Amino acid sequence: MSAMADTIIPADELSPSGTDCGVVVYIDRQLAGAYGAGAKMYRSGPYQRGKPEQGYQLALTPRDYFAVGIAATNDWSRKTFGKDFDRLSVVERATALKAMEEGKASSSISRPPVFSTGCSRS
């Protein structure tokens, strides 16, 4: 998550990076708590394809959703660049995030289709 946060929110002369701002700690704490477990989400199905404006419509908890998305991101990154996402250069990470946002990144791991869009627009 640090590599993604620091790519989306890079440090510059005026501000710290996403990691230095606590973005990764915040996400980790949210996923470790009730939100991550899907405590206030309806998860009993049936699960039908929703409209984009309806938001999240999957059986996965937010914690599982992130875990599957991270695994899929690393799977695609290894196939495309030969290494995990966090090992990519800054330019490669930006290229990877752009490909994910545009729906051009595919993985052999079944992942929620909106994962990368949700992350890259955060």
Q: How confident is the model at residue 114, as a pLDDT?
A: 43
Q: How confident is the model at residue 109, as a pLDDT?
A: 65
CB–CB of 3/96 below 8 Å?
A: no
Q: Output 59 or 37, whichever has higher pLDDT.
A: 37
Q: How confident is the model at residue 110, as a pLDDT?
A: 53
Q: How confident is the model at residue 7, as a pLDDT?
A: 95
Average pLDDT of the chain is 85
In this structure, the number of other CB atoms found within 10 A of the CB of residue 96 comes to: 24
Q: How confident is the model at residue 113, as a pLDDT?
A: 47
Rounded to the nearest 10 degrees, what angle do helices 62-81 and 90-101 cross at? 120
Dihedral, CA of residue 54, residue 59, residue 61 and residue 62, to nearest 10: -40
Residue 42 has pLDDT above 80, yes or no: no
Residue 121 has pLDDT above 50, yes or no: no
Q: What angle do CA 16, 100, 40 make, to 5 degrees?
A: 75
The label of the residue with tokens 């990144």 reads 105
pTM of the model: 0.76
3-state secondary structure (DSSP) of residue 40: coil
Q: Give the pLDDT band of residue 15 (cuts 50, 70, 90).
A: very high
